[in-house]
Amino acid sequence: MSGIGKWLQERIPISGVQIQELTNEPVPNHLKRWWFALGGTPAYLFVVQIVTGILLAFYYQPAASTAFESVRYITEEATFGWYLRSLHKWAATLMIASVILHQMRVYFTSAYRQPRELNWVIGMALLMCTLLTGFTGYSLVFEQLSYWGATVAANISDAVPVVGRFSKQMLLAGDSYNERTLSRFYILHAAVLPTTIIILVAVHIAFIRMHGVTELKFEDEPEDKPQHFNFFPDHILTELMIGLTLMIVLSALATIFPASKGPKANPMITPEVIKPEWFFYVSFRWLKLFSLTFAVLSTGFIVSAMFLWPWIDKVLRKVTGNEDISVYIGIIATFLLVGLTVWEAAVAH
């Protein structure tokens, strides 16, 4: 062992073999298919978000009078600012998409069932945190749609019974968007939500390690083939490949479709065509279809049902005697989700 190696070994008394033993857990064969590695994708993108977010924070100024100008400076003047901002934007988009896809995979393979119910709840909390981070991040740009999106969202929370008004005032630092609102979005976006996500991801991974990955069998797999492979280095290599591919895809998207910016927020004029970010199209269309009270209460009901789905699924299977009842419900929900999103995307009003 070299001098440096010895010095390190003495101060960090752990060997490569010990690390391998600690991390090595047999990984079921189905994880060789990339769509089963979708859980690692948002984790990788989250790291991209932290790195690019810290860099953007060097220039961003969270105040109504300076925010838009600082975003303009980042985009137009800071060296590679346009690239870093575009990476941040596209990584957010892909992160939300991959979290949704990961959740759909878990749902349709019933991987949330006993004993993994609590990890599904943690995953749902992660989905909510990711959506909130996306929302607060979009608000920071302080363009017209940022401002009006935040106003609409705050007023939606106002319609929630009992705690609505309080949560709106806490979010906006007042009854309406004011000079102290943007700093709240900033601290939520850059500190509170990322910290919460890190803690939840740690618990999520701890649960996966405790229960192991759900074993799925495929008909085309021969019986005599080994059922598992090593986490280290085999699965790590798969994740590295996904990471590399993602970096190429992100870089390409950021270069070909760089993050743009609309007109600066104007509290006096709501734009004629107003849309939130794509992942809120469903809620936006829902709000157009129904009264505010019904839309808010039904959304709350659906989200609560999603949190409690492992137990609802159990009751449904018992009552109907159909093991796949949740799959059918999931297919209908997916059609509804995609249908409402496309509808909102296709029309101006």
Partner 1 sequence: MKESPEADPSEKIETSKQERQPVVDEDRRGFLGSAAVASMLGGLAVGYGAFASHAIRFLYPANVGESIWQFVCTLDQLKINESMPFTMPSGAKIVVARQAEGETADAFIALSSICPHLGCKVHWEAANDRFFCPCHNGAFDAQGAPTEGPPASANQYLMRYPLSVDRNLLLIEVPVDAVNVSNAGETA
Q: Which residues bind partner 1 (CB under 8 A)?
A: 64-65, 68, 72, 142, 148, 151-152, 154-156, 166, 169-170, 172-181, 261, 263-274, 287-288, 290-293, 349
Residues 6+ apart with CB under 8 A from 258: 82, 83, 85, 86
Q: What secondary structure letter does DSSP report for 265?
A: P
Looking at this protein, which amino acid is placed at residue 169? Q
The nearest distance, CB 327 to partner 1, in angstroms, is: 34
Task: Locate the DSSP E strands across the chain.
Answer: 27-28, 228-229
Number of H helices, E strands in the chain: 15, 2
The nearest distance, CB 9 to partner 1, in angstroms, is: 41
Q: How far apart are the first and last CA of the chain?
A: 70
CA atoms within 13 A on the CB side of 167: 12
For residue 349, give both structure tokens.
């009003």
The nearest distance, CB 287 to partner 1, in angstroms, is: 6
For residue 263, give both structure tokens.
């007109």
For residue 65, give both structure tokens.
């009078």
The nearest distance, CB 93 to partner 1, in angstroms, is: 23
Smaller CB separation from partner 1, 75 or 98: 75
Q: Cα separation of 81 and 78, whole Å?
A: 5
Which SS3 state, helix, strand or coil, does residue 28 take?
strand
Smaller CB separation from partner 1, 164 or 243: 164
Looking at this protein, which amino acid is placed at residue 105? R
The nearest distance, CB 170 to partner 1, in angstroms, is: 6
Smaller CB separation from partner 1, 37 or 193: 193
Smaller CB separation from partner 1, 113 or 261: 261
Smaller CB separation from partner 1, 154 or 201: 154
Q: Cα separation of 299 and 287, whole Å?
A: 10
DSSP H/E element including 127: helix 117-140
Smaller CB separation from partner 1, 101 or 173: 173
The nearest distance, CB 92 to partner 1, in angstroms, is: 22
Please check whether residue 295 is in contact with residue 340, taking contact to mean a CB–CB distance below 8 angstroms.
no
Smaller CB separation from partner 1, 6 or 288: 288
The nearest distance, CB 216 to partner 1, in angstroms, is: 43
Which SS3 state, helix, strand or coil, does residue 245 take?
helix
Smaller CB separation from partner 1, 20 or 293: 293
The nearest distance, CB 263 to partner 1, in angstroms, is: 5
